[in-house]
């Protein structure tokens, strides 16, 4: 890792990065106009917009709580602080002054993916942008899992943690739960990490945790990118007494019935590449398989979406077979 102060470099980045700046707290107060423009807030703290002296727009994450803030600070520094990829949010610098912990990231003018998918005042993303996002996020995760010194597992892939730059290039963000593991996964992860609705079944079953938990979460995000609405919970199940409102069930049925066009966000008015949609839906169903061994790696997902390899016919996940009452069926 490189440390830089006032843009003077003190080390060499073995992965080609430009270094990380150590900021003083007073500098970040000035850059953010005393933290006056809040971009968002979460369980670990708040994010504020700022501007450096060279007019570079930044997003400053101010971590709350001494112990919790320290844990997230270390997690993010040990992950985003040592990697660089076009589909990962760039860490510009940090502040570690007294008990204050702040992280400085590149600013993403188009905000987070959830804003455009789920909120009425968001921009309607056309299919080309949605497909670009699915592929970009896959590339970012593949890099984390396979191209770093250790395997970096994000543990909290969801639309809120996918940021969009000025050209809607996606950037995986918020590495507060991330962990660097060895390639053999000999380290045991026991504390559940992530967000309900995106959690892989192995968190409950007790199976060893690997990078395939990110693959599962990614699959759930794909469902929401296709539909344009929150589908990671059983939203409508209470209305009809069954599980009809659980979107993965609808996906399973639509794929079996070869009616994938019915899954697409109505706001797209049917303007979608059906060949790409079919490929994305098949990849989705592989990603949310119950058994992590049945899920593809993120490198394989990239190859599938890039049309570099064919996607085989996936089975309907066993849990969805039981819910949908469609045992032993295959998709397409």
CB–CB of 182/165 below 8 Å?
A: no
Pairing of strands 20-22, 3-5: parallel
Buried/exposed code over 188-222 (b: 16+ C-beta within 10 A; e: otherwise): ebeeebbbeebbbbbbeeeeebbbbbbbbbbbbbb
- Token code pair at residue 307: 């049309």
**Catalytic: 156?**
yes
CB–CB of 212/295 below 8 Å?
A: yes
Q: Is 174 marked as binding a ligand?
A: yes
User: For the chain, how far is it from start to end, CA to CA, in angstroms?
Assistant: 47
CB–CB of 156/194 below 8 Å?
A: yes
What is the phi/psi pair of residue 224, to 5°?
Answer: -75, -30
Q: Is 114 marked as binding a ligand?
A: no
**Catalytic member of 156, 214, 265, 290:** 156
Q: How far apart are CA 189 and CA 202, in angstroms?
A: 11
Q: Is 265 marked as binding a ligand?
A: no
Residues in Cβ contact with 101 at an 8 Å cutoff, skipping those fewer than 6 apart: 62, 63, 69, 70, 72, 73, 94, 95
Q: How far apart are CA 251 and CA 170, in angstroms?
A: 24
Q: How many CB atoms lie within 10 A of CB 280?
A: 26
Q: Where are the alpha helices (DSSP H) in 165-260?
A: 202-205, 212-227, 237-240, 247-256
Binding residues for Mg(2+), as ranges, are 161, 174
Binding residues, as ranges, are 61, 161, 174
Catalytic residue numbers read: 156
């Amino acid at each position: 890792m490189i440390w830089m102060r006032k843009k003077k470099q003190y080390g060499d980045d073995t992965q080609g990065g430009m270094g990380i700046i150590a900021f003083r707290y007073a500098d970040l107060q000035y850059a953010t106009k005393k933290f006056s423009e809040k971009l968002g807030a979460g369980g670990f703290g708040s994010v504020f917009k700022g501007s450096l002296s060279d007019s570079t727009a930044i997003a400053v994450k101010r971590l709350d709580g001494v112990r919790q803030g320290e844990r997230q600070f270390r997690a993010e520094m040990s992950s985003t602080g040592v990697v660089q990829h076009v589909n990962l949010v760039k860490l510009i610098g940090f502040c570690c002054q007294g008990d204050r912990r702040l992280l400085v990231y590149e600013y993403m003018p188009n905000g987070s993916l959830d804003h455009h998918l789920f909120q009425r005042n968001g921009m309607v993303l056309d299919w080309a942008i949605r497909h670009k996002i699915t592929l970009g996020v896959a590339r970012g995760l593949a890099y984390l899992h396979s191209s770093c010194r250790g395997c970096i597992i994000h543990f909290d892939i969801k639309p809120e943690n996918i940021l969009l730059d000025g050209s809607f290039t996606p950037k995986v963000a918020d590495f507060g739960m991330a962990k660097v593991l060895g390639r053999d996964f000999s380290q045991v992860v026991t504390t559940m990490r992530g967000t309900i609705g995106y959690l892989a079944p192995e968190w409950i079953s007790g199976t060893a945790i690997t990078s395939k938990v990110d693959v599962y979460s990614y699959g759930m995000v794909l469902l929401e990118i296709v539909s344009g609405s929150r589908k990671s919970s059983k939203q409508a199940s209470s209305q009809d007494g069954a599980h009809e409102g659980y979107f993965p069930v609808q996906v399973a049925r639509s794929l079996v019935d070869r009616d994938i066009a019915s899954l697409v966000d109505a706001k797209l008015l049917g303007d979608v590449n059906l060949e790409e949609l079919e490929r994305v839906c098949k990849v989705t169903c592989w990603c949310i398989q119950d058994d992590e061994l049945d899920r593809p790696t993120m490198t394989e997902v990239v190859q599938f979406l890039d049309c570099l390899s064919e996607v085989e016919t996936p089975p309907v996940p066993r849990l969805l077979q039981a819910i949908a009452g469609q045992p032993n069926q295959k998709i397409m």
